[in-house]
Amino acid sequence: MNNIKSIMIPIDFSDYSRSALKYAVDFARTFKAKMHLVYVLEPSVYPADFSMGQISLPAVEVETTRKAMDELENLAKTEITSDIKYDTKIRTGSAFVEIIEHARETDTDLIIISTHGHTGVEHLLFGSTAEKIVRKAPCPVLTLRKPAKGFKYKS
């Protein structure tokens, strides 16, 4: 356990992922690990008409990426204390694929991710990003469900 040097926290700006970030800060402090905050922007493709097929809107995606990076940086500055090293990254693609790839690229030792607790038809149709990450990640994954035992959520 003493070789945790790099912790990744996927962020989607939900209360769940914010709670996971707060939890991860304590881990990072304990292990003196660097934190990697990752937000995945899933590309938007819009149908134009039947003759042209689908098109993407690059200007919208550029603006969305800029806003996401600003929000991610603000979240990091608010939640992560100055004694912890961190970086932020915006990736584009399928969330679980990009998170796993980023874990490989950064040689991540631990991923801390929140679960949203989807059940029933929604889970059957879409699956869970956290579940896919647990199955495919190149490192251990700690999943948190709110409220997490032993963790006092601070607003």
Residue 116, SS3? coil
Backbone angles phi, psi at 140, to 5 degrees: -60, 150
| pLDDT average, residue stretch 123-133 | 68
Query: In whole angstroms, how far apart are CA 96 and each of 38, 42, 77?
Result: 11, 11, 25
pTM for the whole thing? 0.80
Q: Which residues of 95-124 are buried (b: 16+ CB within 10 A; e: fewer)?
A: bbebbbebbeeeebbbbbbbbbebeeeeee
Q: What pLDDT digit, counting tens, does each position of 86-127 carry?
A: 999 999 888 899 999 999 999 999 999 988 654 544 444 445
Asked if pLDDT for residue 85 goes beyond 90, the answer is yes
Q: Are 89 and 68 in contact (CB under 8 A)?
A: no
What pLDDT, on the 0 to 100 scale, is given for residue 53? 55
Average pLDDT, the chain: 81
Beta bridge mates, 110:
7
What pLDDT, on the 0 to 100 scale, is given for residue 43? 72
The structure tokens listed for 63 are 């603006």
Q: What pLDDT digit, counting tens, does each position of 13-41 carry?
A: 888 888 889 999 999 999 999 999 999 98
| Alpha helices for 32-90 (secondary structure H) | 58-79
Query: In whole angstroms, how far apart are CA 89 and each of 23, 99, 101, 110, 119?
Result: 19, 10, 12, 17, 30
Q: Within 10 A of 5 (CB to CB), how many other CB atoms are there?
A: 14
What pLDDT, on the 0 to 100 scale, is given for residue 71? 93
| Alpha carbon distance 54, 153 (integer Å) | 43
Closest CA to 1 of 29, 22, 31, 34: 31
What pLDDT, on the 0 to 100 scale, is given for residue 89? 95
What pLDDT, on the 0 to 100 scale, is given for residue 36? 97
**Lowest-confidence segment of 8-12, 73-77, 91-95, 121-125 by average pLDDT:** 121-125
| pLDDT average, residue stretch 61-85 | 90
What pLDDT, on the 0 to 100 scale, is given for residue 50? 52
